[in-house]
Structure 1
Amino acid sequence: MGVGSFGDNGELWFEIQLVAANGDMFSVEALFDTGFTAGWLAINTQDLEALEWLRIAAQISMTTARGEGQFNLYEGRVIIDATEFVIPVHVGDDVPDTLMGSAWLDIMQLLVNKPQGILTLETLQPN
């Protein structure tokens, strides 16, 4: 079970691991953004250099909170809740934080109980 934390303004933060093409792992704090409905993960272009992920599409247009943005799409490896996932990752110049999109809610359960300080993200078992 991935245990998260609440930010100063109620944000939902989770520690995830990004797995580079050579197998190196990088732990990062990712902001769970339920408004990011078009994908799984978004990172800044500068974070991509160490990962050396394979680009699968170029110049994808996407509406963001800051307006229309251009992103390249990469095949990324991510570890969440002790499980490795291969997912498409949006990579752009103006991504201030690593963002987890709401696509995770198709395969994971998000449990939020702010009064009790409980924030978890857990892989769902197939039916």
Structure 2
Amino acid sequence: MINGEFNRKGELQFDITLIAADETDYPVKAILDTGFNDWLLINNKDAERLRWLQEQEPLKVQTAGGIEFLDIYEGIVLIDGEELIVRVLGGDNIKEVLLGVRWLRFKRLVADFSAGVLTLG
């Protein structure tokens, strides 16, 4: 189980690690976004720096900001002590690393804002 924190906007924020193709670890803060239905969303430049493999043609998706074309990568994430290979969506205008609700199929989320308790595991 990993502990998270509620950031200044009240978002659910967790420390995770992205693992580059050369096995270098990159700790990042990621926000759990219940409106995002996939595993992970990052900026394309970050995916390129990690040298993650781009899998196929961009995916056309509806976002809160409108229609976007997102690249698809195969990425390695270390979360809750587990190293997992997941599908990662990447966009040029992405400003934050987002965890999607797919994680909730395998991880239990406890979010109690009033008690300051946030865990994923």
TM norm. shorter chain > 0.5: yes
Q: Spell out the pairing of 1:1-127 with structure 2 (5 A cutoff).
A: 1-37=1-37, 39-122=38-121
Gaps of 5+ in 1: 123-127
Question: Structure 1: how far apart are the matches of 2:56 and 2:98?
Answer: 19
SS in 1 for 2:45: helix
SS in 1 for 2:10: coil
Question: Structure 1: how far apart are the matches of 2:57 and 2:18?
Answer: 21
Tell me the C-alpha RMSD between the 2 structures. 0.8
Aligned structure 1 segments of 4 or more residues deviating by more than 3 angstroms: none
Shift of 1:41: 0.2
**Sequence identity, in percent?**
40
Instruction: Report Cα offsets for 1:8-34 as digits up to 9, x if no partner.
Output: 121000010000011000000001000
SS in 1 for 2:114: helix
Instruction: Report Cα offsets for 1:84-126 as digits up to 9, x if no partner.
Output: 110000011111110100110111110111111100000xxxx
Gaps of 5+ in 2: none
Q: How many residues align?
A: 121
Question: Structure 2: how far apart are the matches of 1:43 and 1:113?
Answer: 27
Shift of 1:49: 2.5
Question: Structure 1: how far apart are the matches of 2:31 and 2:109?
Answer: 13
